[in-house]
Homo-oligomer: A and B are copies of this chain.
Amino acid sequence: MKDPANPTSRTPEDDRLRRRIGPTIRDVARMANVSIGTVSKALNNNGSLKAETRERVIAVANALGFRPNSLAQSLHRRHSFTVGLISNDSFGRFTMPIAEGLEACLADRQIAVFMCNATDDPERERQHVEQLLGKRVDGMVITARRADRRPGLDGALRGLPVIYVFSQSDDPEAVCLLPDDEGGARMAVEHLIGLGRQRIAHITGPERFEAVRLRRDGYRQALTAAGLAEGEGYYLSGDWSEKWGYDAAARLFAHGREPPDALFCGNDQIARGAADALRERGIAVPEDVAIVGFDNWNVMTEASRPPLTSVDLNLRALGREAGRRLIAMIDGTPMRGVSRLPCTLVIRESCGAKTDTLTGTEDYA
């Protein structure tokens, strides 16, 4: 009673047999009156098959709603087409865009991403790694808040491709991808200098963040290159809050001291706090004082008065590039060491230049 020309006529028991797993390759073979091997060739478009057969098999498969079991496939193929993403930033503001870029890149290659949150709990991280290895992921991405380096987890990984994004391993061989904080800071300060500013202060976050130290270095490099001196007390390290930006600005513009004509801030919250402080003192931004922030977090840059010029870390691009590199590693390309991707300066009203977007040059460190 089987009618191979009309593959939709599945027998009732077939439906019952598959619990709810759907048809298997066997069912397709039966309905199309070919062998299992032939179906495999047809669907994977390899081997040599008569065009007519191939098409017929594919038609049957579609009619049946056949969906190959990726788990069974992975048992043979070299890859599982999954990777793990382990975050120690509890899916925070920085992890998000990275994950997004990564996912977008990998989805194009049909690779799925396991999202694991370890939040700096080593035991939890160990469990996740264990689980991911059990699931035979093809690679792993580690991301984190960037206070400092972390021990590599290379012990158990026996050569599995691993890439650290927005975080660093203490293993110098490890593949790490980071934004070029130093270059971003340099670009921001050069821009201020190009606008004629001479007395540029830097209000920033806690020095235990490597990013803080790098941005400070970039700031100083730009000053030095332009022959400008760093005013006394012009470098202010505090926490990452608006309040600190507000207080630090107040300090810079207090009593007799000669005030800065520009503020380069370690993040947008600090910048916004500073902008508030200046406004309340009747100091005009950008006319009297130009401000540049860091992170280009639009919740801050756009709510600030005036809207903030800010350095964008290009985290989405960082995630995408991480995906590309991980794929390359999975494909066998050897990689090692730290790379930094350029930042972008997004110009808004707070620095007195025409709205624009400037991208730093790639750093091949």
Binding site for B on A (CB under 8 A): 20-22, 65, 67-72, 74-75, 80, 82, 85, 90-92, 96-97, 99-100, 103-104, 107, 110, 112-117, 124, 127-128, 130-136, 156, 158-160, 241-243, 269, 273, 299, 302-303
- The answer on a CB contact under 8 Å between A115 and B135 is no
The interface residues of chain B lying within 8 Å CB-to-CB of A115 are: 85, 99, 103, 113-115
Return A265 CB to nearest CB of chain B, in Å: 14
Known contacts A132-B112, A136-B70; decide if A99 and B107 are in contact (CB<8 Å): no
- The answer on a CB contact under 8 Å between B303 and A70 is no
- The answer on a CB contact under 8 Å between A107 and B116 is yes
- The answer on a CB contact under 8 Å between B114 and A114 is yes
* Cα(A116)–Cα(B70), bound, Å: 17
The interface residues of chain B lying within 8 Å CB-to-CB of A69 are: 75, 134, 136
* Cα(A69)–Cα(B91), bound, Å: 28
* Cα(A115)–Cα(B113), bound, Å: 6
- The answer on a CB contact under 8 Å between B242 and A134 is no
- The answer on a CB contact under 8 Å between A67 and B116 is no
The interface residues of chain B lying within 8 Å CB-to-CB of A20 are: 158-160
Q: Out of B71, B158, B303, name the residue touching A241 (CB < 8 Å).
A: B303
